[in-house]
Copies of this chain bind each other. A is one copy, B any other.
Amino acid sequence: MRGELAVALSMRHAGVRQVLLRYEVQGPAGAPVVFVAGGISAHRHVSASGAFPEQGWANALVAAGRTLDPARHRILAFDYVGADGRLDAPIDTTDQADAIALLLDALEIDRLQAFVGYSYGAMVGLQFAARHPARLRRLVAVSGAHKPHPYASAWRALQRRAVALGQLQCADAQGLALARQFAMLSYRTPEEFGERFDSAPEIVNGRVRCAAEDYLDAAGAQYVARTPVTAYLRLSESIDLHRLDPAAVAVPVSVVAVEGDRLVPLADSVNLVEGLHGRGQLRVLRSPYGHDAFLKETDRIDLILAAVLRGNGAAQ
């Protein structure tokens, strides 16, 4: 089922704004609800269903036979506030968390069995757990921490500058494509590039063209086709605004870190778990996919979700 909910959202840096919350839910009524939130490019359509058969962004994780089996859970997700490109103002992760609470109110969901957040979704999940602890039993925070790493923030700031450079000359699409291409380097790893693109460059029209450029062209074009520039800018900023005291999180949190993640260093995940005191547990995955491991190492992520969510059921 899909729906839209108009709400007045009191935002941290932008006053009260009227926003439309677009959500999708699948799974049997009465089943425990799991909220799933992904990176800034994710959306409410997590996985294919009878009603909406197109592939979702986490199709391999929310599926029959998986821990997040929509026959046994209600899977709820939404489009991030700002994802439609209509809100041109600073957006905080606390705003996303509060929007989710409003959505749960409207859907009459008292308490989530779990909030599973990846990347930006992990940051939003941490804010949700800190601000609305009665609304969830457990958080699974994958590849996201209590604050962005300064190096990753610098990387994103430069991506936003690429967009600004494009906008100077009404080449918005080129700017956004370049920003996305730079982002791809942060989502993946040298190991993967070394394996996939290890051929000599070519000279095309007097210019050097490297082996990865076809891939990067495709990644840029695909992203530009589906992403409003304003949405990209404001959600990218939102990652950098994110900041949270782990001690304020009062529910159990499973922190999943990927060794080799170029955006979220393992040390930051360790700091998060330390700050959570007894409420945090850390699981570390090593993957050539780095930050994108959640989307690519789906068998291993599913095993972690199984351990965490079953452990949750038993322990509470």
Contact = CB atoms under 8 A, between A and B. Distances in A.
Interface of A: 13, 89-90, 149-158, 161-162, 165-166, 168-169, 171, 174-175, 178, 181-182, 185, 189-190, 193-194, 196-198, 200-201, 203, 206-213, 216, 237, 240-241, 243, 262, 265
Contacts of A241: 201, 203, 208
B90 A190 contact: no
A108 to B, nearest CB: 35
Question: What are the 10 tightest A-B residue pairs by CB atom distance, in nearest-first order?
Answer: A169-B169, A151-B190, A151-B193, A208-B237, A154-B212, A150-B197, A153-B210, A157-B210, A150-B193, A201-B240
A247 B225 CA distance: 47
A200 B146 CA distance: 12
A150 B185 contact: no
Nearest to A161: B178
B154 A165 contact: no
A69 to B, nearest CB: 37
A143 to B, nearest CB: 15
A203 B90 contact: yes
A162 B149 contact: no
A154 B188 CA distance: 12
Which of A152, A154, A241, A243 has the most B CB atoms < 10 Å from its CB? A154
Contact of A213 (B154, B178, B237): B154
7 contacts: A90-B208, A150-B190, A150-B210, A151-B190, A154-B193, A157-B210, A190-B265
A13 B208 CA distance: 11
A203 B193 CA distance: 35
Contacts of A151: 185, 189-190, 193-194, 212
B216 A157 contact: yes
Which of A150, A201, A241 has the most B CB atoms < 10 Å from its CB? A150
Contacts of A211: 150, 153
A61 to B, nearest CB: 27
